[in-house]
Amino acid sequence: MKTYDFIILGAGSAGCVLANRLSSNPNFNVCLIEAGPKDKDIRLHVPIGFAFFGTTSRKYNWGFDTVPQKEFEKVTVTEPATSMVDSAGGVHEVQNEVEDHRKGYQPRGKTLGGSSAINAMLYVRGHSWDYDHWRDLGNEGWSYKDVLPYFKKCEHNEVHDNEYHGQNGPLNVCKIRHTNKPTEDFVKTGSTIFGYNDDFNGENQEGIGFYQTTQKDGKRCSAAKAYLVPILDRENLTVLTDTHVNKIVIEGNTATGVECINEEGEFFTLNASKEVLLSSGAFGSPQILLRSGVGDASDITKHGIDHKIDLPGVGKNLQDHIDYLSVHKYNSLSLIGFSLRSIFIKYPFEILKYIFTKTGLFTSTIAEAGGFIRSRGDIEVPDIQLHFAPAMVVDHGRTNVWGHGLSCHTCLLRPKSRGEVTLNSSDPMDDPKIDPKFLSHPDDMKVMIDGYKKMMKIMNTKPFSKYTSKHVQRPVDLSDDADIEQAIREEADTVYHPVGTCMMGNSDMAVVDSSLKVHKMNSLRVVDASIMPTLVGGNTNAPTIMIGEKAADLILDDWS
């Protein structure tokens, strides 16, 4: 039975940071465990490749579904076939169709780098207000002033070198190496209405502009590429891929190791002499805790698992960005899409351009521009985020659309709805039961409607309106709030930012303290987006990397 000082569960955005920083001390023996395979697929490194993971197998993408969302529109669902015997004794397979509320889709990375290996690579930190709010909730050391040094520590920014940005950090941040007229027109038009912003991570967040991206030399710069690849030769670091975690081994109230399952299905145990660090994300971390007997007894014992530590907040407080896309068809080769001209003329040229210069279409993040706006003038900070895509995106890209067009997301930044993650069973190979309870708070729909109208001001204003005046995929009457609401219930879904299920704080529902140590336990911390007490106003990859950096310092300080 092998023993390590630190065992990190999950090689995602935070886990890769921990592996790098902790193994920098040659006296510490570190093991990093990842359920997915190594990140060898070319689509994980060519930026636009992520757009093709929604329609493929679950090798690099957990591809979770939520439970039916009660506030979503009902759809016809085909149930699994059942066997029926006719009067002559013949057996027939019968398909049953029923109506149920639409499920949401939750893609999550399943490889080295986690979701940073399959995301849209946008570098967005959130608003300074968010971190000051964490502090005001009782989390000492997590104000914007406290976390800014860690954002700067992780970053090498090719665009900005000032008091808000870092140089010489592992994570490369740069401009998108792809330009097109529709995206430029979106920024030009949006800026006349909401103002221009050349840095959403600087002094002010509000306005319209181009996104910065986590790429380097035209390739994806995932957390694995930034933090893990440069240190894989360290003798004190062991990286296990294709290895599932069944549970954390707990003796009394102390985490002493982990029980794992290798690629052949064999169980084995690893010991941790100092700490187990849980970095499996907003879905994986609570799932592992519950399987280990940590959480609310009612969520654990019904699956035949021994209840060990009473922490009712495990899996609760799930928050996610609900998002609605307006999709428009427009026949232009400057837009990403499939047509005979693009397949036989444009894409061969773009492939050569990428091979020889690492520029052009294949470096696109799809969500190339956007911004942060306020749904009403009387609120303190932006509550709506826009992502503009020079492509028609339908059902997370899982529905192939012929032709060219564009889309724009309207994303609710601080939803009041709260959901939960629980177990479907004790089987470590089973998916978690995910219920975001989208739109369950009535205020969320009100803000979404107001935000959608503000977004459509850009879409319907010259010069941009030439792209959207015709051929909208789902026509919406902007003068009718009921029609906007109906469209949202029919098609809105996540924009991939689940957080909060192992909340940091001091309340009865908190799971970790401000040092990210699990309450009522020893030698166990949670380090990932699940510790966020509230959702930040922006994309969550950069904040999760920041959490990893800050946690590494906390751990090193404790064991120095």
* Strand ranges for 436-555 from DSSP E: 493-494, 524-526
Known catalytic residue at 160: no
Residue 281 near residue 64, CB atoms below 8 Å: no
Which residue in the block uniquely carries the two structure tokens 């910065």?
Answer: 212
**Are the C-beta atoms of 281 and 434 separated by less than 8 Å?**
no
* Residue among 221, 137, 67 at smallest CA distance from 507: 137
Residue with tokens 């002493």: 256
Cα dihedral: 262, 265, 267, 270 (round 10) = 10
What does the alpha-carbon distance between residue 323 and residue 487 come to, in Å, rounded to a whole number?
12
Which among 384, 390, 393 is positioned nearest to 327, based on CA atoms? Answer: 393
Residue 289 Cα distances to 35, 270, 274, 530, 533, angstroms = 16, 17, 18, 12, 18
CA torsion 52-58-59-62 (nearest 10°) is 100
Q: How far apart are CA 411 and CA 121, in angstroms?
A: 17
* Torsion angle in degrees (nearest 10) through CA of 34, 114, 17, 25: 20
Chain Cα centroid distance, residue 55: 18
295 within 8 A of 286, measured Cβ to Cβ? yes
User: Is the Cα torsion angle 194, 199, 202, 203 positive or negative in sign?
Assistant: negative
Query: Of these residues, 156, 178, 328, 497, which one is catalytic?
Result: 497
Active site residues per annotation = 497
